[in-house]
Structure 1
Amino acid sequence: MRLAILGCGTVGSEVVRLLHEQSADLAARIGAPLEIAGIAVRRLGRDRGDLPVAPELFTTDAVGLVKSDDVDVVIEVVGGIEPARSWLVDALRAGKSVVTANKALLAEDGASLHDAAADGGADLYYEAAVAGAIPLLRPLRESLHGDRINRVTGIVNGTTNFILSAMDATGAGFAEALEEATELGYAEADPTADVEGFDAAAKAAILASLAFHTRVGAADVHREGITEVTAADVASAKAMGCTIKLLCIAARGTDAAGRESVSVRVHPAMIPLSHPLASVGDAYNAVFVEAEAAGPLMFYGRGAGGAATASAVLGDVVAVCRNRLAGVHAPSESAYADLAVRPMGEALTRYHVSLDVADRPGVLAAVAGVFARHDVSIATVRQAPAGTEPAGRGVDAVLVIVTHTAPDAALAATVEDLRGLDAVRSIASVLRVEGGE
């Protein structure tokens, strides 16, 4: 089986190494040896260490490599939208199997790839696009295909999980925790894609598409990052017996008209320490799947890194090569449900609201009245004198309110109306709460 590899960075290099080191075992598992037909790179002269491949296998002509009649499988680990999309569409339409780790492309325009795979009768596999080495997408696509999945909740970005775990463990602020993550190599020089939630949102779109048999794109995902999470928020979560995580949440439900639909969102949230995801620390990933027949399922492991991602890539390579030898291919996509994606305002969630208020009679009643006007039920209220809260903001008092479940639009409108109360000096923080009801 002849392989074309597009990209030879951190992941591509590990793919090449593992192909060499495990060549005998891979050949035995597949039933035929694997051979690298070429490796497309941007710069030929770049030092790539002691990769066990002949120099003449490197090329800058990705298009020529993809279109070569001597290639059976195309492995794409370049990333980005273009030119990767054009390369993979051409390969799939020509009947070549494709293995990709490109979450951004799949979330932005996975439809084009799936359509091309169907047109060419080719396999499109992408286990490495979400949660690194964790076997997650194949179970959603195959093992749980006989079940009905109602909800997927996950920690799918290792950088943000490391930052929030560090803030929880040390009491540091966001900037200090990000600096530590950068020094240790967990965060990129430009961490925007991670800390602003873009990376997690792309993965959420892929998970929702598989779980609910519906095409969900990155534009359908409500996205918030962790840059506004403060040390005071983390301390308040601890006081409630919670921790803060950046969650991707995809849930099946009904829209305002009573029609079945899905909600897909990424944002920081408090979760109780009893929740299975609460103990996921450092740069690890975990995804909690709730299915009707199978019940709750947890997938946990390293979600990033060259070796972990390459492991997932090679797992897909084995699968598509076996299919080619057998003369079959997997179904390209299951999107028969075609469910609408609900707007964020219809998502059901809970809020934790911290208010700086005047310490005088009637304040609590006035605040409670605002919640009542928007039909939002209050679950708990905690009031502390100034100076006893971790932030030490020097106000009259701090009022911490946690709501029951309500539509996000009603909760957001409640918070906005609270800003207009004379007794409310400021809204110190607003965080969603998940997993407690």
Structure 2
Amino acid sequence: MFLRRSHQVDLEAYYPIRPECQDSVPKARFKLRTGKTLSERRWHASFSKEGHLDIARVLRRIQRGGVHPAIRGAVWEFLLGCYDPNSTFDDRCLIRQRRRERYDDWKAECQKMVPTIGSGNFLTTPIVTDDGQPIENGEGANDDESPNQQGRSNDAALEKKVIRWKQVLPQIGLDVVRTDQSLVFYQTESNQAKLWNVLAIYAWLDSDVSYVQGMNDICSPIVILLENEADAYWCFERAMRRLRDNFKTTATSIGVQARLSTLSSIIKVIDPKLHQHLEDLDGGEYLFAFRMLMVLFRREFSFIDALYLWELMWAMEYNPNTFLLYETSAADVTSANVTEKMLKRYGKFERNNVRIGCKDYQSALAVFLAASILENKHKRILKEAKGLDDIVEILGDVTGNLDARKACKEALEIHKKFLKKAQQPS
């Protein structure tokens, strides 16, 4: 009975909101549901004596009622592929220790270039000019180790990488200050610095993507859930493997464009009338759904509901081969010979993809979730939308009013409908 009596107290205790923000923050719709939500007891009972996780049992529970906040960080590490469910407690302890050591090495490398890294503070003002020269009195600037003076600066490509990285650090800091401001957690500079460190080190290691606004919204909940900064980094890194293409931009395209194109294709198949209306309004590129897909509906849901939505989506998209794909170059890892019994270890959404042999990464559940939102607004869009601004306004009404469980259920139905219609001969 504990969950039923105190669910609201539990949620407020885990994600406290600043008193002055109480009235402006959307109320969470998520409730802990006895017998449905993955509880601490159920979670611990899902491990064998050696530490092997019954992932099928866990996925079923998450897909029915989400995860209790007390274990959310640990559960997310499995959902995002940080650990193999077949690993033991000892295996994971060793992996965790090695990853923490690697993170510390990377952090030390970054700290040599910018001493503010790991100091408990973070940057919001530029420290280098456009050509990489240190800005005098720049906060956190390290004149002795500017790109032009480092021992490794003979490598022109490395020097360019260092300059680009130093230029993006203040932008990360400015976004950190704006991230989840209503939460008590980010009232302390040390917690803001933790978020900044993770994003800054990721930007250094993944120079192709570096940092793009919106990555802070993905990283923030992970930093809150996982106390150890290195663990938070690795969990964020795994999340970015799923979302990385959203943030990768070129001179001619935005990263999330491929998913917007997929969304367009889905609506064209399941609702040709709505698609034609959007085309007539010059909305065929579906840019009005940009924010939804870019940051996984963080702005459309309250903080608590967004976490619930994410874990539902990741549970539904779960593929037990994910860990192997992350840890090896495993081109051999395949779903070709998956039996129905083995499919129980897959999430509902991924199960359907495996059955029909779909490997299109862009057809992520998030795209079908966006399609379900458009379908729910079908009548209003056809009746009221006379231009793109009207579409944006209509979709804006969903903010804070979406039920994550219902939205995911509708997304799965659209996924099945799309697969069925797409397979029919023209």
Q: Sort the TM-score into its range (normalised by shorter chain).
A: under 0.3
Query: Which structure shows the bigger proportion of residues in strand conformation?
Result: 1
Query: Which structure shows the bigger proportion of residues in helix conformation?
Result: 2
TM-score computed with the length of structure 1 as normaliser = 0.24
TM-score computed with the length of structure 2 as normaliser = 0.24
Task: From the CA coordinates, give the structure whose radius of gyration is larger.
Answer: 1
